[in-house]
Amino acid sequence: MIENEELIVIKELSFYYDQKPVLLDINLTIWAGDFLAILGPNGAGKTTLIKIMLGLLPIKKGQVFLFGQPIKSFKNWHLLGYVPQTATHFDPLFPATVEEIIAMALFSRKRLWSRTKEERKTISKILEIVGLQGKEKIPIGQLSTGEQQKVFIARALVHKPRVLILDEPTTGIDAETQQQFYDMLQQLNIKNGITIVLVTHDIGIVNRHINRVACLEGRLIYHGTHEDFCFSEFFKEMIGRGDHVISHRH
């Protein structure tokens, strides 16, 4: 890993839907190895910001660089893994197993029946990383919400991304499972060297896992290290407002 490598750089970015301004003059850098939490109230523009990073929304004003390249000419999209907001909530009868859901991403150009032994091994290795070993044959609808979310993370990992971007991944998951979930993300960050960008309301829970914080309210009202954040007015305000429990009420 290159020291201080800049993976995502956002410069003077503004964005609006129709006439409605949503993001204003954002400057944000994400470095290799970061575990960044993006915080902010509903409607703050968090999802919009990460969709722009992922090339899912066009840039209207400002610049975005991915791995040193202007986003317009960037081609290595496999370097970015994405778990969208509300990816889960499956019909219990949804007719696909864990293995099939992951295989869809892994072998998108192949038929499922042509899966080789080696490919199955890749899947079981990824399942082990997210703590779902041995669950290949279980229909996704029979898993708990927390486990379903892990399947989506497994799927986002199949192309070995360097950055994993998650949009409020623990909505609808109980506090204890959330804790395990964030521990797993920390393992990915530390052991596997994957940079994590996490949109969340759970500042009280992710607090000990992250190294950087960005607070969004249309503008980027705070961006800095986790240590500085803990001594900031923003942190006191958020804890005071009880932001860390908001996610349980969605």
Let me know: does 198 contact 185? Beta carbons within 8 Å.
Answer: yes
Only segment of 14-22, 58-66, 96-104, 219-227 that touches ligand ADP (CB under 6 A): 14-22
Task: Name the amino acid, one letter, at 58.
Answer: P
Residue of the chain from 9, 26, 40, 197 that contacts ligand ADP (CB under 6 A): 40
- Helix 175-190 vs helix 145-157: crossing angle, to nearest 10: 20
> Tokens 């001594």 appear where?
231
Give the footprint of ligand ADP on residues 53-112 (CB under 6 A).
Answer: none
Interface with ligand ADP includes 43 (CB under 6 A)?
Answer: yes
Q: Which two tokens stand for residue 46?
A: 């968090």
**Among residues 17 and 77, whose Cβ is nearest to ligand ADP?**
17
Residues 6+ apart with CB under 8 A from 160: 78
Interface with ligand ADP includes 169 (CB under 6 A)?
Answer: no
Interface with ligand ADP includes 22 (CB under 6 A)?
Answer: yes
Interface with Mg ion includes 88 (CB under 5 A)?
Answer: no
Only segment of 23-31, 45-53, 158-166, 189-197 that touches Mg ion (CB under 5 A): 45-53
> Which residue's CB atom is positioned nearest to Mg ion?
47
* Alpha helices by DSSP H, the chain: 46-53, 98-106, 117-129, 145-157, 175-190, 203-206, 226-230, 233-241, 243-246
Report helix, strand or coil for 83. strand
Let me know: does 74 contact 235? Beta carbons within 8 Å.
Answer: no
CB of 15 to ligand ADP, least distance (A): 9
Q: Which two tokens stand for residue 53?
A: 């990073």
Let me know: does 65 contact 6? Beta carbons within 8 Å.
Answer: yes
Interface with ligand ADP includes 239 (CB under 6 A)?
Answer: no
Task: Name the amino acid, one letter, at 196.
Answer: I
Interface with ligand ADP includes 225 (CB under 6 A)?
Answer: no
Pairing mode of beta strands 61-66, 20-31 = unpaired
Only segment of 41-49, 62-70, 174-182, 224-232 that touches Mg ion (CB under 5 A): 41-49
Interface with ligand ADP includes 242 (CB under 6 A)?
Answer: no
Interface with ligand ADP includes 16 (CB under 6 A)?
Answer: no
CB of 73 to ligand ADP, least distance (A): 25
Interface with ligand ADP includes 21 (CB under 6 A)?
Answer: no
Question: Using CB under 5 A as the criterion, which residues of the chain lie in contact with Mg ion when the complex forms?
Answer: 46-47
Question: Using CB under 6 A as the criterion, which residues of the chain lie in contact with ligand ADP when the complex forms?
Answer: 17, 20, 22, 40, 42-48
